Amino acid sequence: EFYCTVKNVLDQEGFGRQKRGYRSIDEIYIKMTDPLFSKQWYLINTGQADGTPGLDLNVAEAWGLGYTGRGITIAIMDDGIDYLHPDLASNYNAEASFDFSSNDPYPYPRYTNDWFNSHGTRCAGEVSAAANNNICGVGVAYNSKVAGIRMLDQPFMTDIIEASSISHMPQVIDIYSASWGPTDDGKTVDGPRELTLQAMADGVNKGRGGKGSIYVWASGDGGSYDDCNCDGYASSMWTISINSAINDGRTALYDESCSSTLASTFSNGRKRNPEAGVATTDLYGNCTLRHSGTSAAAPEAAGVFALALEANPNLTWRDMQHLSVLTSKRNQLHDEVHQWRRNGVGLEFNHLFGYGVLDAGSMVKMAKEWKTVPERFHCVAGSLQDVHKIQSGGKLILTISTDSCHGKDNFVRYLEHVQAVVTVNGSRRGDLNINMTSPMGTKSILLSCRPRDDDAKVGFDKWPFMTTHTWGEDPRGTWVLEVGFQGDEPQRGALKEWTLMLHGTQSAPYIDQIVRNYQSKLAMSKKEELEEELDEAVERSLKSLLSKN
């Protein structure tokens, strides 16, 4: 048989993409008739299922202010959506939906008797399940529209399917939620290919009338054996990568840690209590109490961002990241492995949870008053291209001193993302670990050991490790990279490149917010005077100035 095929399709090489999380709660101040509402501890945690009261997305405050996602469309890029589901049908945006797995406009999940394709439907309910209709529970943004983009249910993923999905109707879809990525087997290093990278770049630059598509990404379910900085989707600057906490504030056992994660939401508990899972819609008009994984966490974030966009439709893709950094809360999250630390401008972060758990109430309040952050610049701070040997027992320490392009058009003074593009090989890739310390003294763990990764050939080839932990810092000074092997066997390897890329603004973000704060606090009115004080103010922590808590 011969098919007439267009060249683009012939060029598509098949590769593996796995959806995550497929493993096989009383009303207080908000009145809802939905039977599962009281089980949705992630919305309002009163201590259901042995959880910690108050550890939730604080949606009640946002809803109380009138934000419910009206006018916002969120696309679930997954295995389809049961759009006939009575809790989803009224919020389904059919025009913005598409099925890229079978190339038609109807992203209905393919039937299997084990309900394998229930993932998208469960994610959709977390965002947009209707409220007060006596069915299942309530979405985080229960008046938002949800679009289905079916793209996970074909034998192989292709670059064209991914690219088409994330660039589908970017003027109609505001937020794209993805709970999938390279295999979480603890030995894969993979990311978006050429077309998908281009589609993401176009999305953030041109989507939503130039304000940028919001891409929300699950950080991955590989557990302590994996590192989400080896997942090029989660570690992209253009995605907001979301990890999960369980209902008592601990990490979930499947959580991966990495320096690119921005914030967290909630997923199922470690306990066997069936009500500690995520309650949402399920296939064929059913409901479930058991949605799980960081898969369940990403759509919650998409829902919170929909509330923020309703509060201020002018928010850009970067504003959304700044708002996440500034308003996420440590709350009662605790990570047994990594301490909470403060970066050089006082922002508190954790290697697994990022800047903490999203707080919908704080986010919509800040969104409402928000002024778009200043223009973004990119500076190559330095690049080392000589071969340096690395051996077990010792570590390689390299430095780059930079003025961050000071005096040039692309000077970066206030950091957003930082990337370390690294080429390194080793006799066992999984034993490699890499840390980077900023001039203000913030250490980011760029790569942790991955005990299952025994690659001895490929290593990392110009891999862009990303950190969000130096957000707001002044990048000028000396950056230190430390590379070493951990593990039982002696290893050796070589680092061939470290290029340091700084991304951020020249002028201070939040200046208007800080001015307002000073105006009220100190009854001062001249912006010029305030600008002189600003550096100091930034050091004293933008976060406290911005009335966190």
Enzyme catalytic residues: 78, 119, 295
User: In 10 A of CB 462, how many CB atoms?
Assistant: 10
- For Ca ion, the closer of residues 453 and 497 by Cβ is 453
Closest approach of ligand NAG to the CB of residue 365, in Å: 12
82 is an interface residue for Ca ion by CB under 5 A = no
Residues 143-162 that bind ligand NAG (CB under 6 A): none
Which positions from 282 through 321 interact with ligand NAG, judged by CB under 6 A? 284-286, 312, 314
433 touches ligand NAG (CB under 6 A) = yes
Does 361 participate in binding ligand NAG (rule CB under 6 A)?
Answer: no
Residue 184 near which of Ca ion, ligand NAG, none (CB within 5-8 Å, type-dependent): Ca ion
Spatial separation of the C-alpha atoms in residues 366 and 62, rounded to whole Å:
11
Query: Residue 13 or residue 375: which is nearer to ligand NAG going by CB?
Result: 375
**Closest CB to Ca ion: residue number:** 220
- Work out how close the CB of 142 gets to Ca ion at its nearest, in angstroms, rounded to a whole number: 7
- Beta carbon of residue 115, minimum distance to ligand NAG (angstroms, whole number): 8
- 388-391/492-505 β-pairing: antiparallel
Nearest CA-CA partner of 91 in 51, 138, 161, 29: 138
Which of 34/162 has CB closer to Ca ion?
Answer: 34
Q: Shortest Cβ distance from residue 317 to Ca ion (Å)? A: 23
Instruction: Give the integer Cα–Cα distance in Å for 168 and 207.
Output: 10
Question: Do 455 and 429 contact (CB within 8 A), yes or no?
Answer: yes
- Residue 133 near ligand NAG by CB under 6 A: no
Instruction: Give the list of residues 6+ apart from residue 3 with CB closer than 8 angstroms, or none.
Output: none
| Residue 231 binds which entry of ligand NAG, Ca ion, none, CB below 5-8 Å type-dependent | Ca ion
> Could you tell me whether strands 98-99 and 145-150 are parallel, antiparallel, or unpaired per DSSP bridges?
parallel
Residues 6+ apart with CB under 8 A from 219: 228, 231, 234, 241, 242, 243, 255, 256, 258, 261, 294, 297
Which of 380, 398, 456, 480 lies at the binding interface for ligand NAG (CB under 6 A)? 456
Stretch 184-243 residues interacting with Ca ion (CB under 5 A)? 184, 220, 222, 226, 231
Phi, then psi, of 230 in degrees rounded to 5: -95, 5
Shortest Cβ 429–ligand NAG spacing (Å): 9
Instruction: Report the residue number whose CB is nearest to ligand NAG.
Output: 484
Strand partners, 18: 181
Question: Which one-letter amino acid corresponds to residue 175?
Answer: I
Work out the burial of residue 96: count CB atoms within 10 Å of its CB; fewer than 13 is exposed, 13-18 middle, 19 or more buried: buried
Going by their DSSP bridges, the two strands 214-218 and 396-402 should be labelled as unpaired
The option from Ca ion, ligand NAG, none interacting with 220 (CB < 5 to 8 A, set by class) reads Ca ion
Q: Cβ distance 502 to 436 under 8 Å?
A: no
Hey, what amino acid is at 90? S
Binding site for Ca ion (CB under 5 A): 34, 87, 129-130, 133, 135-136, 184, 220, 222, 226, 231
Binding site for ligand NAG (CB under 6 A): 284-286, 312, 314, 387, 395, 425-427, 433, 435, 445, 456, 482-484, 493-494
